[in-house]
Amino acid sequence: MSFTIARHLADVPVAGWEDLSGLGSRTSPFLSPRFLLPWYRALGRGCDVRIVRWAPDGGPDQGLLFLCRCSEGGWIFLGGEQVADYLDALVAPGSAEAFWREFLERGLPALGGGPLRLPGLVEGTPALSLLPSICREMGLSCSVEEIDRAPFVSLPGSFEEYLEQLAKKERHELRRKMRRAGELLPELAFRITRTPAELANDLPSFVELHRKSHPEKEVFMDEAMAAFFREVAEGFLASGRLRLAFLSTQGKNVASVFQFRTDDALLLYNSGYDPAHRAANPGLVLIARSIGQAVEEGCAEYDFLRGTERYKYDLGGVDRVVYRLTVSA
């Protein structure tokens, strides 16, 4: 059959899943098995899972839709809204319309008709343009609402050119803060975790800095969340896609950023810093250094992901809109 619904993540071959997640023009790390499997193991054990598998030619999957129901509120994307920024179905390029039509005709009734709540759809994703019109044709209810913004910076060929892109005030302030960090933090150093042995030491440091940086982050980073971050870090390091970076003074870490590398972008997923060094702005300086690293790696953009914190715009961010789409019979 070309269309099946599985009840267990183990029913989906990881190699095919990984291959499908690497297709398309904008790869989302949040759709990778290196992200969703750790999410389920650490945070989603009580959720009812369904995986829509679509193989129209009878070969490998050409479409995968990971759904879960963790309460009575209907089906949502696996990964939810708390820790996954960009979500969608995984569909081979050029096949999105055929996939969504067959899902709405066959998959949605098999799930009980919804409601189906799909958060994390970033502007430009095919689902946003396709689903409202297909739903109208089929007599289904479909609503789209903005839930967040995700600022990003288009990167030129050098860090100096990036600085020149900033408005005069922001450029001056960033240069001043980077100089001041060098004055206040002796032996200031920037580095990226490269090996599993380094990660074994660095991840606890990241978790500590994350918890220190804000009371809400301390609540967020409980033991289950720390286990999730650890497994995600290990998986993405093994694939060469983790960029866990640190700013240190005299060998002591004072700020950290947890980032994903995709084919053309560096994505800022989470961060932390030591408030004892707040005057030196170590978090902001580290992100600026990471933008410089992204330029060196040839990235087309630095993506701050979801959230409208002021620093993202001070560093030149411009918005992408993130939506939630709801479908019901």
* Cβ neighbours of 292 (radius 10 Å): 18
- Are 3-150+323-328 and 152-303 in the same CATH fold? yes
User: 3-150+323-328 maps to which CATH number?
Assistant: 3.40.630
Per-residue pLDDT, 25 = 64
> What's the CA gap between 309 and 198, in Å, rounded?
30
CA distance 193 to 258: 10
Task: Provide DSSP, 2-61.
Answer: -EEEES-GGGS-HHHHHHHHT-SSS--GGGSHHHHHHHHHHH-TTSEEEEEEE-TTSSS-
| Pairwise CA distance, residues 21 & 89, whole Å | 10
Residue 143 three-state SS: strand
Tokens of 84: 């996954």
* Res 73: pLDDT: 73
In terms of Cα–Cα distance, which of 267, 256, 253, 251 is closest to 299?
A: 267
pLDDT at 195: 98
DSSP classification of residue 107:
I
Those residues with Cβ within 8 angstroms of residue 231's Cβ, 6 or more apart along the chain or in another chain: 37, 38, 41, 42
Side-chain-side CA neighbours of residue 95 (13 Å): 19
Query: Strand order in 265-273's β-sheet?
Result: 152-154, 301-303, 265-273, 252-261, 242-249, 189-192
List C-alpha distances in Å: 303 to 173, 239, 260, 307, 316: 21, 20, 10, 11, 11
Q: Is 239 helix (H, G, I), strand (E, B) or coil?
A: coil
Q: Which of 114, 85, 160, 12 is nearest to 324 (CA)?
A: 85
**Binned average pLDDT, 10 residues per bin, the chain of 329 residues:** 87 92 82 96 90 89 92 85 93 93 90 86 92 95 96 97 97 97 96 98 98 95 96 97 97 97 96 97 98 97 97 97 93
Query: Which helix (H) or strand (E) element contains residue 252?
Result: strand 252-261
Domain boundaries, the chain: 3-150+323-328, 152-303
- Tokens coding 306: 């979801």
Tokens for 266? 């560096």
* Main-chain dihedrals φ then ψ at residue 142, nearest 5 degrees: -145, 125
**Domain 152-303 is in which class?**
alpha beta
Residue in this structure with the two tokens 């993506």, named with its chain if needed:
303
- Beta-carbon contacts of 160 under 8 Å, excluding residues fewer than 6 positions away, are none
The reported pTM is 0.95
- Name residue 112's amino acid: G
